Amino acid sequence: MTTAKKDQASKALDPVSSKDSLISYSADHLANQFLIAMPGMVDSNFAGSVIYLFEHTQKGAMGLVVNRPTEVNLGTLFDKIELKLEIAPLLEQPVYFGGPVQIERGFVLHESNPQLSYSSSLIIPGGLTMTTSKDVLEAVALGNGPRKFLMTLGYAGWGAGQLEEEITLNGWMNVPLSHEQMMDILFSTPSSQRYEKTISHLGFDLSHLSGEAGHA
């Protein structure tokens, strides 16, 4: 692992400040949907990517790339933030590249559970929960955290109207799915197959995408 990647791991999910310690609720225009990059995407950060949108308001949008594993795994990351993780199946679980914004910060996307709460979480209506506070990883280390989760370093962000314009210009296609379909893609489908699996729910072949409108 490079020094830069070690530094990323050691900085991830630092305890948030008190002003950030809250539970909030996402707006739901395109939130709780997938975005898939169209074949013509030239930005190397996003080519071939599947993004889970957890926030979409008039001020912009935020999401996590969920099919780009990094060389950092949970075992390495937990070691760097001085948490002891001894749950064997989790040690080799990859940490994902979530996007080019705040790549030193960790984001945990996990199933929603009203019996579990953390100091800084965003609850996406009808969908999942995104947590940025270290206490979610402390719970995972103790064996009482969310059963299904993935962690990213960084996120993808768009300014006001930017995502809508990129969809109109055929850069992205939004894919609304049922909760069950979404959970299957995120937590039961290998990362290398998530792009194709997401597209399969649209009912047409990947080779036809370049001529399609992005629709929102």
Q: Which pLDDT score is estimated for 206?
A: 62
pLDDT at 194: 97
Tell which residue, 187, 93, 99, 83, has the closest CA to residue 135. Answer: 83
How far is CA 85 from each of CA 36, 53, 138, 147, rounded to the nearest angstrom? 33, 29, 9, 15
**Terminal Cα distance for the chain, rounded:** 40
In 12-80, DSSP assigns E strands to 23-25, 33-37, 50-57, 60-65, 69-73
The tokens describing 166, both together, are 């990129």
Q: CB–CB of 121/130 below 8 Å? A: yes
Residue count of the chain? 216
* Domains of the chain with bracketed CATH: 3-211 (3.40.1740.10)
pTM equals 0.83
The pLDDT assigned to 181 comes to: 95
Q: What angle do CA 32, 66, 131 make, to 5 degrees?
A: 65
Give, for all 216 residues of the chain, the pLDDT tens digit: 443 444 444 444 443 333 344 444 444 489 999 999 998 888 999 999 999 999 999 999 999 999 999 999 999 999 999 999 989 889 999 999 999 999 999 999 999 988 888 999 999 988 799 999 999 999 999 999 999 999 999 999 999 999 999 999 989 999 999 999 999 999 999 999 999 999 999 886 666 655 454 444
SS3 content of the chain, % helix, strand, coil (to 5): 30, 30, 45
pLDDT score at 10:
42
Provide the pLDDT for residue 42. Answer: 86
Could you count the other beta carbons within 10 Å of the beta carbon of residue 91?
A: 14
Give the C-alpha separation, 153 to 141, whole Å: 18
**Which pLDDT score is estimated for 24?**
42
